[in-house]
Amino acid sequence: MRIMVMGPVFCGKTTLCQYLAGLPRIYAKTQTVGIIGSSIDTPGEYLENRGLRNRLAVTAADAGLILFLQDCTSRNVYFSPGQAAMFAVPVAGVITKTDLAAAEEISRAEEILNFSGASPLFAVSSLLGRGMEALVHFINSQSA
């Protein structure tokens, strides 16, 4: 199953994909390599630029799961209300860079993702690996 990662420029998409791709070092399961190692890292411009948004829909055809990313250090909102519903596959939300944030910033990111219709939500730090266990567990449960 491919995981498509979506979010604006600088929100932490590539770092999250890299973290997930590195998991086989921690979880020594062969299965994890194929699933996690094939994350689809999308350009932030596809989300930020309205004219490019249908490219996300095309890319999503290859995905079994989509992750909407919201950087909790950013106030900018790029997801539209209910955007998750435009995809035929499950859309979960990931709050990124929690190592840099206060609790209220994480709540703000949570609201933005709730607004987009992404569910469930995970709060992570790709830097510290914080919150990753729950996210990986969820991803594995989706690809079973």
Ligand X SMILES: Nc1nc2c(ncn2[C@@H]2O[C@H](COP(=O)(O)OP(=O)(O)O)[C@@H](O)[C@H]2O)c(=O)[nH]1
d(CA 64, CA 2): 6
Closer Cβ to ligand X, 32 or 126, answer by number: 126
Tell me the one-letter amino acid at 14: T
Of Mg ion, ligand X, none, which one sits near residue 21, judging by CB under 5 to 8 A according to partner kind?
none
d(CA 39, CA 23): 12
Of Mg ion, ligand X, none, which one sits near residue 2, judging by CB under 5 to 8 A according to partner kind?
none
**Strand pairing class (40-41; 91-96):** unpaired
Helix (H) or strand (E) segment spanning residue 56: helix 53-60
**Strand pairing class (121-123; 3-6):** unpaired
Q: Which of residues 6-65 bind Mg ion (CB under 5 A)?
A: 13-14
End-to-end CA distance of the chain, in Å?
Answer: 9
Decide if residue 96 touches ligand X (CB under 6 A).
yes
Q: Are the beta carbons of 53 and 86 closer than 8 angstroms?
A: no
| Binding letters toward ligand X, positions 6-25, x by CB under 6 A | -x-xxxxxxx----------
d(CA 141, CA 126): 20
Select the span of 5-13, 16-24, 112-120, 136-144 touching Mg ion (CB under 5 A): 5-13
Select the span of 49-57, 82-90, 93-101, 102-110 touching ligand X (CB under 6 A): 93-101
Closer Cβ to ligand X, 11 or 67, answer by number: 11
How many residues touch Mg ion under the rule CB under 5 A: the total is: 2
Q: Which residues contact Mg ion by CB under 5 A?
A: 13-14
Q: Which residues contact ligand X by CB under 6 A?
A: 7, 9-15, 44, 96-97, 99-100, 125-127
